[in-house]
């Protein structure tokens, strides 16, 4: 018998009709697998525990630090408000400090600071947790940088408005109740936001001005305002009498209520501002409360006009100069009466037609 025949008889090939019986692991194999798993867990449990404790420690520190910082910011804002209330109790504080303006400014600053600190603390904690799991942060940071640049280009106007609003509030350029000239619009500030500022115009309209569009700002309510009044009189008036009258009006206005509270300096007669052929201009000036310059100017004009009328000083300018011209003769434009107006005049008799001849004779 050949070797191939022996091998074929010893290991016959299974026929298609025969089924293969699955091998059932024995108890010894199961014990070995459990032993290997327990060994793998025993080898790595210390690493897992260290990672878990590190993540838990990072979260606890981040939460505690966020709470502490936010509470410190809130106390700082409250202290700013209490300082403003202490200023309100003084005589000058009520004129310089606006409660609504201070409240909105404090809330805006507190909101910005709390948001920035929360973002920084929680973002740093998230990056530290990812680093604990041995995750490569370089691609993530690169992707975040690219996304930030794309968002910045897409929403550059929004970012510009937001940053301008933040610096405007931090620098206290203007606030609620201020009269401002923003270039694109002017009026009284009724609301200050991080993106948009609301202005109430002179006619009652509300202007919504984006903070990023404000290139220059003129605040008419900070410090003090100036009231200027120009008085035009005839060139032949007595200079000393005009100046004395103006000084008397200025002194009386500075001492009377409520104008002595609106005036922050005595009313000054600056003297001749210009001299023309037929008129002279005197200038009167005074420092007033912010936003009260027009009120003081109207009162000064009223008092100066009454004082000039009492002393006989005439104010000229515009249509009032026509009153000094001599009155026109109403008969200057009439023609002389005609000699033919009377039927008995020689001219009328000579010009009358001859009677027709009598043809009956």
For 205-258, write each residue's pLDDT tens digit: 999 999 888 888 888 877 788 888 999 999 888 888 999 999 999 888 888 888
pLDDT of 355: 65
Question: Given the structure tokens 């022996």, which residue do they identify?
Answer: 6
Q: Which of 85, 94, 86 is nearest to 289 (CA)?
A: 94
CB-CB contact of 308 with 315 (8 Å): yes
For residue 18, pLDDT over 70 is answered with no
Stretch 158-162: mean pLDDT: 83
Give the total residue count for the chain: 361
Query: To which H or E segment does residue 187 belong?
Result: strand 186-192
The 3-state DSSP composition of the chain as helix, strand, coil percent (nearest 5) reads: 55, 15, 30
How far is 131 from 306, CA to CA, in rounded Å?
84
CB-CB contact of 304 with 246 (8 Å): yes
pLDDT of 138: 75
**Both tokens assigned to 210:** 């984006």
CA torsion 176-182-186-192 (nearest 10°) is: -20
Residue 231 CB contacts under 8 Å (≥ 6 apart), including other chains: 246, 281, 282, 283, 284, 304, 308, 315
pLDDT more than 90, % of the chain: 13
CA–CA distance from 98 to each of 174, 177, 222 (Å)? 11, 7, 11
**SS3 for 12?**
coil
Residue 154 or 175, more confident: 175
Q: In the structure, what pLDDT confidence band is assigned to residue 25 with cuts at 50, 70 and 90? A: low
Beta bridge partners of 199: 189, 207
Question: Given the structure tokens 């002194």, which residue do they identify?
Answer: 251
**Both tokens assigned to 308:** 């000039």
For residue 325, pLDDT over 60 is answered with no
pLDDT of 60: 92
Instruction: Write down the pTM of the prediction.
Output: 0.50
Q: In the structure, what pLDDT confidence band is assigned to residue 159 with cuts at 50, 70 and 90? A: confident
User: Which of 105-109, 170-174, 187-191 reaches the highest mean pLDDT?
Assistant: 187-191
**SS3 for 71?**
helix
How far is 190 from 171, CA to CA, in rounded Å?
18
Q: How far is CA 328 from the centre of its chain?
A: 59
CB-CB contact of 161 with 208 (8 Å): no
Per-residue pLDDT reduced to its tens digit, 174-217 = 887 888 888 888 888 888 888 888 999 888 899 999 988 888 88
For residue 346, pLDDT over 80 is answered with no
Q: In the structure, what pLDDT confidence band is assigned to residue 283 with cuts at 50, 70 and 90? A: very high
CA–CA distance from 207 to each of 189, 193, 197, 199 (Å)? 9, 13, 8, 5
Q: Which of 335, 338, 340 is nearest to 352 (CA)?
A: 340
Per-residue pLDDT reduced to its tens digit, 295-313 = 889 999 999 999 999 988 8
How far is 195 from 207, CA to CA, in rounded Å?
13
Residue 25 or 81, more confident: 81
Question: Given the structure tokens 């009044």, which residue do they identify?
Answer: 229
Greatest alpha-carbon span in the chain: 204
Give the neighbor-by-neighbor strand order of the sheet with 179-181.
Answer: 206-210, 196-200, 186-192, 179-181, 218-219
């Amino acid at each position: 018998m050949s070797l191939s025949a022996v091998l074929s008889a010893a290991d016959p090939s299974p026929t298609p009709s025969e089924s293969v019986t699955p091998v059932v692991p024995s108890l010894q194999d199961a014990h070995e697998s459990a032993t290997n798993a327990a060994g793998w867990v025993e080898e790595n449990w210390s690493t897992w525990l260290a990672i878990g404790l590190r993540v838990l420690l990072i979260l606890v520190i981040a939460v505690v630090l966020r709470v502490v910082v936010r509470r410190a910011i809130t106390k700082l804002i409250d202290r700013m408000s209490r300082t403003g209330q202490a200023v309100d109790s003084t005589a000058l504080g009520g004129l310089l400090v606006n409660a609504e303006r201070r409240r909105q400014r404090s809330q805006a600053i507190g909101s910005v600071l709390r948001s920035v600190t929360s973002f920084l603390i929680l973002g740093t904690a998230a990056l530290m947790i990812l680093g604990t799991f041995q995750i490569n942060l370089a691609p993530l940071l690169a992707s975040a940088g690219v996304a930030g640049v794309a968002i910045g280009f897409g929403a550059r106007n929004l970012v510009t408005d937001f940053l301008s609003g933040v610096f405007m509030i931090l620098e206290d350029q203007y606030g609620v109740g201020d009269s401002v000239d923003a270039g694109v619009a002017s009026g009284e500030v009724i609301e200050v936001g991080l993106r948009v500022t609301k202005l109430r115009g002179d006619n009652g309209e509300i202007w919504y001005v984006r903070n990023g569009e404000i290139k220059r700002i003129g605040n008419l309510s900070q410090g003090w305002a100036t009231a200027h009044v120009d008085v035009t009189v005839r060139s032949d008036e007595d200079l000393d009498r005009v100046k004395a009258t103006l000084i008397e009006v200025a002194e009386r206005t500075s001492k009377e209520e409520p104008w002595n509270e609106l005036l922050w300096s005595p009313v000054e007669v600056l003297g001749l501002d210009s001299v023309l052929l037929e008129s002279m201009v005197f200038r009167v000036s005074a420092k007033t409360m912010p936003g009260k310059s027009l009120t003081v100017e109207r009162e000064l004009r009223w008092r100066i006009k009454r004082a000039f009328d009492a002393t006989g000083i005439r104010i000229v300018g515009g249509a009032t100069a026509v009153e000094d011209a001599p009155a026109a003769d109403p008969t200057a434009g009439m023609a002389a009466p005609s000699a033919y107006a009377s039927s008995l005049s020689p001219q009328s008799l000579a010009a009358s037609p001859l009677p027709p001849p009598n043809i009956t004779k």
